[in-house]
Amino acid sequence: MSRRSPLTALGALLVFVFLYAPIAVVIVYSFNAARYGTEWQGFTVDWYLRLIDNDAAIAAAINTIELACTSTFFSVLLGSVLGYGMSRYEFPFKRIFHHVLHVPVFIPDIVMAVALLLFFSVLRKWLAGFELGMITMTLAHITFQIPFVAIVVRARMADCDPQLEEAAADLGAGPWLTFRHVTLPLMLPGAVAGGLLAFTLSLDDFVVSFFTSGAGSTTLPILIYSSVKRGITPDINALATLIVLVSALTVVTVAWMRGRTEVKN
């Protein structure tokens, strides 16, 4: 049995403190009674209660959830088909396409945002009435979410024996029955995990949303950015804490589902 070094444990603890201390500060100061500054003046939940009466925050929250749900739905559909096709079928330049699929994952957000903005600007010249707003933001989010879903689904299907689908066909099941009773149950954990990952990415995204947004399409990250320019106040901390909470719950759900999948396998 290997012995754990105290120095290694200390190093791991310092890394965790370095990663999560800023988040902890935001959460703690969201309960600070002081309106301005960092001086602690008592515990309060008034900043969370005031968010209920904040029309701008409510509208931004609705836009954020609508954007995340819509983009996640379509990215899961398209990404699952893409991931399954890459894991089960051979086609020309498949190896090259495999590497190209990772480009949106590693490309800087600012580059992706500028490219999408330029693309939508070209569309505005060709399509009458096409303006920046929720539609362009949704299309932009679907664009960068699809590779994440496809990669997760492809990894999932790579661990599944294709002979199971062949056996179903040999037993007389048609393409639809094979997909419904064999392929879909095998793919579902990967699709759900990819969807939750895509939902988290959409929920937290600022750069792409900022560049492709229009009038009436402000999301929570954009609202927080515009508010921070006037100074950091506890209501901003409360709003950021809620976003962190939802993101953390989503990540925990993804990890839990992956753990269950590994146990079953």
Number of domains in the chain: 1
Supply the angle between the helices 184-204 and 55-88 in degrees, to the nearest 10.
140
The C-alpha atoms of residue 180 and residue 184 are separated, in whole angstroms, by 5
Tell me, what CATH number does 125's domain have?
A: 1.10.3720.10
Q: Does 6 fall in a domain?
A: no
The contacts found for 71-74 with CB under 8 angstroms, 24 or more apart, are: 71/138, 71/141, 71/142, 71/145, 71/198, 71/202, 72/145, 72/195, 72/198, 72/199, 72/202, 74/138, 74/142
Q: Does 27 fall in a domain?
A: no
The C-alpha atoms of residue 186 and residue 165 are separated, in whole angstroms, by 10
**How high is the pLDDT of residue 155?**
85
**How high is the pLDDT of residue 122?**
87
The pTM is what?
0.77
Q: Does 4 fall in a domain?
A: no
The C-alpha atoms of residue 58 and residue 63 are separated, in whole angstroms, by 9
Q: Which amino acid is at 102?
A: H
Q: Tell me the pLDDT of the chain (265 aa) as tens digits.
A: 455 677 788 888 888 888 888 888 888 888 888 777 677 788 888 888 888 887 888 888 889 889 999 999 999 999 999 988 888 777 777 778 777 888 888 888 899 999 999 998 888 888 777 788 889 999 999 999 999 999 989 888 877 777 777 777 777 777 788 777 777 888 888 888 889 889 888 988 899 999 998 877 888 888 888 877 776 677 778 888 888 888 788 777 767 766 665 555 5
Q: Does 96 fall in a domain?
A: yes
Query: DSSP letter at 171?
Result: T
Q: What is the DSSP string of 94-132?
A: HHHHHHHTTHHHHS-HHHHHHHHHHHHHHHHHHSTT--S
120: containing domain: 53-264
Q: Does 8 fall in a domain?
A: no
**How high is the pLDDT of residue 262?**
56
Q: Does 12 fall in a domain?
A: no
Angstrom CA distances, 163 to 87, 89, 147, 178, 183, stand at 13, 14, 26, 12, 11
**How high is the pLDDT of residue 67?**
93
Where b means 16+ CB within 10 Å and e means fewer, 72-97 reads bebbbeebbebbbebbeeeeeeeeee
Residue given tokens 């990967």 in the structure block: 190
Q: Does 154 fall in a domain?
A: yes
**How high is the pLDDT of residue 1?**
44
Quick check: 239 and 225 in contact, CB under 8 A? no
